Amino acid sequence: MSILKIVDYRGGVLVMYRCLGILLDPSVYPSLGNRIEYYAFISHAHTDHSRGLSISSFRRYATYETIALCRARGQSVGGVYSLRYGDTVSLPYGVCVEVLNAGHILGSAMFRIETPEATILYTGDFNTVRSFTVESADKVECDIAIVESTYGSPSFILPPRGRVYMDLISWIVRCLHDGYTPVIQTDALGNSQELNIAINKLTNIRVYIHPRIARYNRVYGEYGCQLEYSVSRGEVSDGVYIVPKDVSPGNPRSRVGFASGWALRFSDDRYPIPFSDHADFKSIVEYVEEIKPRRVYTFHGGIYDRVLAKELRDRISVEASPLPDYIE
Ligand SMILES: [Zn+2]
Ligand SMILES: [Zn+2]
């Protein structure tokens, strides 16, 4: 019988080997008996992954950048061990965890867990497209892959990044020419910085950002990603204004764009900018094919966990299913 267990404990992913519990992006402390010694690894600073950084009842690890980004939004991150890509953390029973680049946002990590029984790759959120702010995800072979399925359905194929940028720039120019301010609603962390730098590099149009984005821009700057921008609470008239998704433009002379992979599906009356820091469906399948796992668990995609698992079975004949729930 296997002494390795990989489950969704309803508070994150748990890789259990003997009495060692490796928690991946935990959001709550697991109550699975007190014989288990826990170590938590946080993949990146998006809030749906990084809550565990503030849970001090287990040993926590994250990259320097992830810690800095979480601190920038006021999260308590005391006592967290800092990691760099390429680091390896040695744990009991001969298990070790290697830190790899996930290509998603600044500091985003994948974790490759080597146990005497199998090597497991946890992708976290990942992207295989090289961007202005991060390199594309590392590719390493493994026995078992735990793969995110945010865009795990064949209907999510993003257009090439270059074309998205060209369309975006012509939309911005058109707005400004017509006397309107182009306002882009997007994720405050990740997409905002990528769009900021793309507009800097490809045009000389001024970029204004909302204060909630600025706190993250500063951390990108500290880690060598130079962005040019001004901070504004609104009333922008001579450039493009990037705001978090829930902020609506105060200025009536504005046109709104929506930058997200979800813009493929809907954007109501907003200008769609189909753009994401996640791998699209095609990239996920190609990635799994390249890392050659004998088993895949899908997670983090809601209904797409099942869809992606089926597509992987059909397209590349790999054993795949949604990550099972923990059962005592
Ligand atoms: Zn994320
Ligand atoms: Zn996520």
pLDDT at 282 over 70: yes
pLDDT of residue 252: 85
Residues 58 and 133 in one domain: yes
Clarify whether residues 116 and 263 are in a common domain.
no
How far is CA 49 from its chain centroid? 9
**Ligand number with the minimum distance to the CA of 150:** 2
Distance 239 CA to ligand 1 centre (A): 28
Gap between the terminal Cα atoms of the chain: 16
The pLDDT value given to residue 266: 78
CB atoms within 10 A of CB 36: 15
Give residue 44 CA to ligand 1 midpoint distance, Å: 7
For the chain, the domain total comes to 2
At 31 the pLDDT is 83
* 244 exposure class (CB count in 10 Å sphere: 0-12, 13-18, 19+): middle
| Ligand 2 centroid – CA 46 distance (Å) | 7
Handedness of CA 146, 151, 157, 158 (dihedral sign): negative
Cα of 278 to ligand 2 centre, how many Å? 9
Query: Is the C-alpha dihedral spanning 52, 55, 61, 66 positive or negative?
Result: positive
Residue 114 has pLDDT above 60, yes or no: yes
> Do 222 and 146 share a domain, yes or no?
no
Among 314, 298, 297, 301, which Cα is nearest to 262's? Answer: 301
Task: Count CB-CB contacts under 10 A for residue 86.
Answer: 10
How remote is the CA of residue 83 from the centroid of ligand 2, in Å? 20
Are the C-beta atoms of residues 102 and 125 closer than 8 Å to each other?
Answer: yes
Asked if residue 176 and residue 47 are part of one domain, the reply reads no
Q: What is the mean pLDDT of residues 309-326?
A: 97
Rg (CA), the chain: 20
170 Cα to the center of ligand 2, angstroms: 30
Examine the pLDDT at 108 and tell me if it is beyond 70.
yes
303 φ, ψ (degrees, to nearest 5) = -65, -20
Output the domain CATH number for residue 53: 3.60.15.10
Ligand 1 ion: nearby residues, β-carbon < 5 Å: 46, 125
pLDDT in tens, 189-208: 999 999 999 999 999 999 99
**Average pLDDT score over residue span 223-232:** 97
Domain interval for residue 309: 4-155+279-322
Residue 170 covered by a domain = yes
pLDDT value at residue 32? 82
> Residue 235 has what pLDDT?
85
Residues 76 and 205 in one domain: no
Q: How far is the CA of 180 from the centre of ligand 2 (A)?
A: 33
Ligand lying closest to the C-alpha of residue 300: 2
| Angle between helix 64-72 and 211-222 (nearest 10) | 150
The answer to whether position 167 is within a domain reads yes
- In the structure encoding, which two tokens stand for residue 254, read together? 């504005």
What tokens does 236 get?
């922008």
Q: What is the pLDDT of residues 5-44, one digit of tens each?
A: 999 999 999 999 999 999 999 999 998 877 899 999 999 9
Q: Tokens representing 247?
A: 């902020």
Give the number of other CB atoms < 10 A from CB of residue 197.
21
As a whole number of angstroms, the distance between CA 213 and CA 47 comes to 14
In a domain, 328, yes or no: no
Residue 241: give its domain's CATH number: 3.40.50.12650
pLDDT at 283: 98
Q: Are residues 39 and 181 in the same domain?
A: no
Q: How confident is the model at residue 218 (pLDDT cuts 50, 70, 90)?
A: very high
With beta carbons less than 8 A apart as the criterion, state whether 52 and 79 touch: no
Write the Ramachandran bin of 126: left for phi over 0, alpha for psi from -120 to 50, otherwise beta. beta
pLDDT digits (tens, 9 = 90+) for 52-103: 999 999 999 999 999 999 999 999 999 999 999 999 999 999 999 999 999 9
* Same-domain status, 247 and 315: no
CB of 110 closer than 8 Å to CB of 119: no
pLDDT above 90 for 267: no
